[in-house]
Chains A and B, each alone.
Chain A
Amino acid sequence: MKKRALLLAGILLFCGLSPAMAASYPSRSIQFLIGWDIGGGSDQAGRTLCAKAEKYLGQPFAIQNLPAGSGAKAYMAIAGAKPDGYTIGLTTSTISTLKPLGRIPVGSEDFEHVILFNSDPGGIWVHTDAPWKSLGEFLAYAKANPERVSVAASTPGSITRFQMMALEQEGGVRFRVLSQQGGAANGLTNLAGRHIDAAMGTPLEGYALYTAGKIRPLGFCSEERVPMMADVPTWKEQGIDVALSTARTVIAPKGTPKEVIDTLYEAFRKVVTDPEYSKSMEAKGSNVHALTPEETRQFLREQDARFAALIRNTGAK
């Protein structure tokens, strides 16, 4: 009798334990992995998000940068972490490219999704003194000089590289490509020193050199114009039917309890819907979103399909 009571108590305790644990989440600091270098666009986005979310979660974030392979190292680390909500991290759209490219064995379906909170369109920039006034003029020149016009972009597999490849395909041109290991921002610096003809980069990355009068954008590959540079037409307006942004989400290891995901989502949602936050991000040319975990999963499913097709078409693999 005593034994059975003990067993019952044990079962009850066990059943009662997991919701109780989730209710007290988070009880210690949360490790947040970012697969890009300190100071880059993704690092900025992730750090700002975490700094403001601490207030709502009551626990600090321990941010760790694992820059390698356009996020590959961080994705692998998150995939292998304990699904208890104490190790989460940032993704960009490379979560949809690295698996089809054969770089890593995990893709978006191997994670739990918390929120899609930000997206940045790509763009192509030239030196302020360059002769080309529009994307059309630039492409015409590139067509007349195949593989002689140099363009900087991140390494293969990255989103800026895909944007450049899509531009080559749609515009019917071939560039001479300069790969930039550290991210697109380095290419823009090379452009400012006139070592190359053009460079790929998001509004966020190019804005500082743009205001310094060193470089100017020929167009952004977004559906609508970038508000802070409203006089710059999109690629679509200039006859290049490409709209390709990088979307940033927060992911957790597969199997993380739903209660934990919801707690995190609620905290991050409060951050990104704060008008002060969205205003400061939009001033830097970044778009703010607050997709729920389910919407995020849906978005990534579509994105996976889009990039899988792109990889097949461009022969990037």
Chain B
Amino acid sequence: MPTLLAAFSDVIHPWMTGIIFFGTFVGILVGALPGLSATLGVAILLPVTYYLSPAEGLLLLLGIYTGGIYGGSIAAILLNIPGCPASLMTTLDGYPLSRRGEGGRAIGIATVSSFIGGTVGVLALIFISTLLARAALSFGPAEYALLAFFGLSAIVVVVAKSVLKGFISACIGLMLATVGMDPLVSVERFSYGNFDLLGGINYIPVVIGLFGLCEVFTQALETRQAAAVRQVVRRVFPSGDDLKTILRNSFHPCWIGTLIGALPGAGGSIASIISYNRAMASDTNPERFGTGITEGLVASETANNAAVGGAMVPLLTLGIPGSSVTAVLLGAMLMHNITPGPMLYVNNPHMVYVIFIGMVMANVAMLVLGIAGAKIFPRVVNLPRTALLPVIALLCIIGAYAMSSSYTDVVIMILSGLFGFMLKQLGIPAGPLILGLILGPIAESNFRGAMELSDGSLSIFIRSPLSCGILALTMLLLASPLIRRLIAKPNRPAKAERR
């Protein structure tokens, strides 16, 4: 207890608080700029931490991490460009809202949801981390594969308009995911001697191209036809009704986000995909999703920020980094001669408490800065398009290059942009393609790994209660259009009229 108080008085110190607010601010900026992700922000500021004390350095990086995951939602809502991969699902309901001129309201909802998710994630990290670590370890190859399949089954519902088109898009994504070294026997596939493609097609430039550059093309053509929607920002803090919706819908995203975040190899983007899927699977009217509803926004934004706390669980309790950001954090800790792992709680409890309290503070900082910024950010969209669009295009190029300083990634981004524009003209959604590209490698390597372990028997997928549960949820999601049709039969004439 005295250690907790000491840590608390350390973190509450104006200098430390200032560092957290600065880190969170930088994180929001980095996150909001398309292509610059939380991982990159943490990696760039890592050298700065050499000149700080270990506690200061870690708090700075944790602030960037927290702010970065949230910041991605701002670009997702206002520009239909996920600022970072974790806010991919936020575009689905966030952008339709801002198209209706409700960008400020949407950012407010995203901010409060992120705050709730982030705080619950940290509380889970503080109080049930051992339990969570055990739960995370119970995910073996079979469970990972099923989780990826569950994520992929979203295409059925995400694109209720045309399952076929969604399916085509997802298949393109899955095919792109096969490029690069074979995950198990490391033989080159479809890289045609290009060593830049050995590691596969990085999904970040594809996301930037399909969403960012494609949006630039689309809007450039639109300017002639229609005037931009003006963002009217009356209030940014969610109204009573919105708050009620947020609270009612944030329970499941919180635990899903925390748990998925704790899984090594998964992270914010997968957490929000799974959470969004679950919200749809359990909704009586899943067609509403993707049209700009609060529930969808809450499902995505709460989960991806809950994943931040979750991701710290394996790092602090087991000493293993579960995501690219926590890997950089691990590096930062090792630089300062702090070895994360269970012994940290024994040897250096002060540092553990500083991390805990710092993360809570970072969430508070995110709430304050987010609500303050929600009044300003939407104005960006009111800028003349002749100024805005070139800036976005430039950011797309920088973002694609910055991730791994590779010109190949820039080429991939531009090709994705052109391809995305083509898909848009054909009415094929880009979301499922990204799902395929992100989840494909996880599904493939774990499915094949599981088959190696079971010597080719599919029984491994029903061997644990966990895998049975995920399988059941997937079935439910896949069957939902069918069930809906059966239920909706009497109303059919009305539906046809609407079309």
Contact = CB atoms under 8 A, between A and B. Distances in A.
Enumerate the 5 nearest inter-chain pairs by beta-carbon distance, A residue then B residue, closest first: A208-B319, A39-B327, A195-B140, A68-B199, A193-B137
A176 B452 CA distance: 7
Interface stretch (B69-77, B206-214, B292-300, B340-348): B340-348
Contacts of A178: 141, 449, 452-453
A38 B331 contact: yes
A43 B331 contact: yes
A190 B264 CA distance: 10
21 contacts: A38-B327, A39-B324, A39-B326, A43-B327, A44-B334, A51-B50, A73-B196, A103-B186, A150-B452, A176-B452, A179-B185, A186-B264, A189-B314, A192-B318, A193-B137, A194-B137, A208-B319, A208-B340, A209-B320, A212-B317, A214-B137
A263 interface: no
Nearest to A177: B452
A181 interface: yes
A46 to B, nearest CB: 10
Interface in A252-284: 280, 284
Given A38-B324, A179-B185, A208 B334 contact: no
Given A39-B328, A72-B198, A213-B342, A190 B140 contact: yes
A148 B360 CA distance: 47
A65 interface: yes
A40 B320 CA distance: 10
B328 A38 contact: yes
B382 interface: no
Size category, B interface: 35 or more
Interface string A63-82: 01111111011001100000
Contacts of B140: 190, 193, 195
A280 B339 CA distance: 11
A271 to B, nearest CB: 13
Given A39-B324, A190-B140, 20 more contacts: A60-B47, A69-B186, A69-B199, A72-B195, A73-B199, A77-B195, A103-B186, A155-B183, A155-B186, A176-B452, A176-B453, A178-B141, A179-B449, A179-B452, A181-B183, A192-B318, A193-B137, A195-B141, A212-B319, A213-B342
A73 B195 contact: yes
A211 B199 contact: no
B232 interface: no
B221 interface: no
A155 B185 contact: yes
B47 to A, nearest CB: 7
A185 B321 CA distance: 10
Contacts of A190: 140-141
A51 B264 contact: no
B4 to A, nearest CB: 23
Interface in A186-210: 186, 188-190, 192-196, 207-209
A47 interface: yes
Nearest to A195: B140
A156 interface: yes
A157 to B, nearest CB: 6
Interface in A130-188: 147, 150, 155-157, 176-179, 181-182, 185-186, 188
B139 interface: yes
Contact of B339 (A104, A147, A208): A208
A65 B328 CA distance: 12
A88 B324 CA distance: 23
B457 to A, nearest CB: 12
Contacts of B180: 68
Nearest to A39: B327
B43 interface: yes
A59 interface: no
A48 interface: yes
Size category, A interface: 35 or more
B219 interface: no
A176 to B, nearest CB: 7
Contacts of B320: 185, 188-189, 208-209
A155 B452 CA distance: 14
A237 interface: no
A37 interface: yes
Interface string B290-333: 00000000000000000000000010011111001011101100
B331 A39 contact: yes
A64 B195 contact: no
B453 A195 contact: yes
Nearest to B50: A51
Given A77-B195, A208-B319, A211-B341, A193 B331 contact: no
A209 B264 CA distance: 14
Contacts of A104: 195
B259 to A, nearest CB: 14
B181 interface: yes
B184 A67 contact: no
A208 B339 CA distance: 8
Contacts of A37: 324, 327
Contacts of A67: 199
B337 interface: yes
Given A39-B330, A68-B181, A190-B140, A51 B335 contact: yes
B282 to A, nearest CB: 28
Contacts of A211: 319, 341-343
A150 B137 contact: no
Contacts of B405: 64
B404 interface: yes
A156 B184 CA distance: 8
A38 B43 CA distance: 10
Given A38-B327, A38-B328, A150-B453, A181 B445 contact: yes
Contacts of A194: 137
Given A186-B264, A193-B137, A280-B337, A70 B342 contact: no
B438 to A, nearest CB: 15
A156 B186 contact: yes
Interface string B329-367: 011001101011111000000000000000000000000
B183 A179 contact: yes
Contacts of A39: 321, 324, 326-328, 330-331
B138 interface: yes
